[in-house]
Chains A and B, each alone.
Chain A
């Protein structure tokens, strides 16, 4: 069953089984983090948990790799 998660208060649709990163990218949200030093935008890059570019906060858990964390109904995702 498909459902929604909340990303910075905005509803984002999820196809069941998708990762948080895939749901964000599919919704047209391609960057959700900025780098420490230069504030560069970052989103998915390696897609398999190697690069850590896609870090996100899920239900208060910080620094989660969005490409690995599966989205669940009611998840609240916050980006920096």
Chain B
């Protein structure tokens, strides 16, 4: 006995498009999201307003249509998915009282997005230092700029909307420091992908607010006692070793070095993974967004970070493929050729961006012995190096000896850095419980009737 034809985990562009396509094909669909509103990180918006930005009108229309065709379970945190011969059981917690909720379904779409990939540097745990995505979430979702005088640093085009947004909100942006070099304009992937207008728009916004934009520069240390008061900004060589440095005063820093796809549920279910161009583990899918596990689909950033437009496209492809597969229709192609071709173009663009903005190994030279790598367990670089001296040869053995990644966040923040320090690419981490769950919630699961 299964409740839904499809449960979609994640209410961003991929999840909403996937749920809607499947529901419009006649499937009984539930969409589950941890947040209070649909939108994910890209369309994150305040309670009192609608999403804004590229594609927002279409997203709002999709959400309206979805409300009448599917069950929306917002404020629901999914902490595990189980699979037996016939169905999936999705375990979640509802609301702040963390009431257990159990859903059963015939197929599952994982559209769980991504989170920032920060790099450690001295002082990065001082209050006032934010991930770039965190600064953006605070501004878009809450209407609060991270500071009055902000430095934006890291690599990749995401730094531009973060800086432009802060400047437009009245913050003084003391600089945008892009650790990689300035690409020849003609070579830039944003231009090649016909995104000239978007790139120029951010450039114009920064120029209007007189925000300095420096390539081959990065924040390599943050200083202060109770809160960041200034940062060391370094000029870098192409491998990110420091050539010279100066001090910039600020009361907040936003730092981002790309994104980490959230693939925990797919790994729990045994889906095959591969490494994307930037080294992140991602879920392997076919043109219908099918993973290697029957009836499990993935769309959006879990299949490789590619932005909102690609996420929506993959969501639609997944929804169509799921409807097709559940009807057990043999032959025929559920995903129209035009969707597949647009997807291929957007994926090529995403790959070009990842190749244009790599993380270079010189960041490790910014670290001091006492720089924390794992913020939760307060593990300094020296402890990780000791573990290597003791014979650890990979991130997992470093973790067992020195405890980075053993705390609250379970390595989501430090995992990339620990892997790099251990000399390997980040591996797909198996986390049997993907959200912390209280014993009280576990105890009450028995009383919950699956639906």
Q: B-contacting residues of A (Cβ < 8 Å)? A: 15-19, 22, 25-26, 30-31, 35-38, 40-53, 55, 61, 64, 67-70
Can you name 8 A-B residue pairings with CB atoms under 8 Å?
A45-B134, A46-B133, A47-B137, A48-B133, A48-B137, A50-B115, A53-B125, A67-B134
* Cβ–Cβ < 8 Å partners of A55 in chain B: 408
Quick check: B409 and A51 within 8 Å, CB to CB? yes
State A40–B377 Cα separation when bound (angstroms): 12
Contacts of A52 in B (CB 8 A): 376, 407-409
Task: State whether A49 touches B34 (Cβ < 8 A).
Answer: yes
Residues A36 and B133 in contact in the complex (CB < 8 Å), given A22-B144, A41-B127:
no
- Per the bound structure, the CA–CA distance linking A53 and B41 in Å amounts to 19
If over half of B's interface residues share one DSSP class (helix, strand or loop), that class is named, otherwise mixed; here it is loop
Is A48 in contact with B127, judged by CB distance below 8 angstroms?
A: no
**Contact between chains at B375 and A22 (CB < 8 Å):** no
Q: Are B96 and A42 in contact (CB under 8 A)?
A: no
Chain B stretch 39-95: residues in CB contact (< 8 A) with chain A:
41, 46-48
User: At the interface, yes or no: B223 with Cβ under 8 Å from chain A?
Assistant: no
- Min CB distance A45 to B, Å, is 6
User: Which single member of B125, B136, B407 contacts A42 (CB below 8 Å)?
Assistant: B125
Q: Name, among A19, A30, A37, A40, the residue most crowded by chain B CB atoms within 10 Å (CB to CB).
A: A30
Number of interface residues of B (CB under 8 A): 37
Q: Which residue of A lies closest to B115 (CB)?
A: A50
B138, CB-defined interface residue at 8 Å: yes
The reply to whether A16 and B227 contact each other, CB–CB distance below 8 Å, is no
Q: Given A22-B142, A46-B413, A50-B412, answer yes or no on A35-B227 (Cβ-Cβ < 8 Å).
A: no
How far apart are B324's CB and chain A's nearest CB, in angstroms?
34
Across the A-B interface, the 8 shortest Cβ-Cβ residue pairs: A17-B47, A47-B134, A22-B142, A52-B408, A31-B127, A47-B137, A43-B127, A30-B127
Please give, as numbers and ranges, the residues of chain A lying within 8 Å of B136 by CB-CB distance. Answer: 47
Q: For the complex, give the distance between the alpha carbons of A40 and B136 in Å.
A: 25
Query: Could you list which residues of chain B lie within 8 angstroms of chain A, going by C-beta atoms?
Result: 34, 36, 41, 46-48, 96, 115-116, 125-131, 133-138, 141-144, 146, 226-227, 375-376, 378, 407-409, 412-413
Q: From known contacts A17-B47, A26-B144, A46-B134, infer whether A51 and B127 are also in contact, taking CB-CB under 8 Å.
A: no
| B403, chain A: closest CB distance, angstroms | 11
CB contacts (< 8 Å) of B146 on chain A: these are 25
**CB closest residue in chain A, given B226:** A41
Asked if B138 and A25 sit within 8 Å, CB to CB, the answer is yes
For B134, the chain A residues whose CB sits under 8 A away are 44-48, 67
> Which has the most chain B C-beta neighbours within 10 Å: A25, A47, A49, A55?
A47
Interface centre among B126, B138, B408 (most CB of A within 10 A): B138
- In the complex formed, the residue of A with least CB distance to B47 is A17
Asked if B129 and A45 make an inter-chain contact with CB atoms under 8 angstroms apart, the answer reads yes
Given contact pairs A46-B413, A47-B133, A52-B408, A35 touches B144 in the complex (Cβ within 8 A): no
Q: Which of A16, A46, A70 contacts B115 (CB 8 A)?
A: A46
A47 lies within 8 A of B378 (CB): no
Q: How far is the CA of A17 from the CA of B127 in the complex (A)?
A: 23
A17 to B48 CA separation, bound complex (whole angstroms): 8
How far is A44 from B131 in the complex, measured between Cα atoms in Å? 9
A70 to B46 CA separation, bound complex (whole angstroms): 12
Are A70 and B378 in contact (CB-based, < 8 A)? no
Asked if residues A45 and B131 are in contact (CB atoms below 8 Å), the reply is: yes
Q: CA A31 – CA B251 in complex, angstroms?
A: 13
The answer for the CA separation of A35 and B376 in the assembled complex, in Å, is 8
- Nearest Cβ distance between residue A65 and chain B, in whole angstroms? 9
Instruction: Verify B127–A42 contact, CB threshold 8 A.
Output: yes
Q: Which of A15, A16, A49, A51 has the largest count of B CB atoms less than 10 A from its CB?
A: A51
State which of A26, A47, A64 has its C-beta within 8 Å of the C-beta of B131. Answer: A47
Nearest-neighbor residue (CB-CB) of A33 within chain B? B127
Which of B125, B131, B134, B375 is most buried by chain A, counting CB atoms within 10 A of its CB?
B134
Measured between beta carbons, the chain A residues less than 8 angstroms from B34 are 49, 68
A35 touches B127 (CB 8 A): no
Distance in Å from the Cβ of A59 to the closest Cβ of chain B? 9
Residue contact B227 to A40, C-beta cutoff 8 Å: no
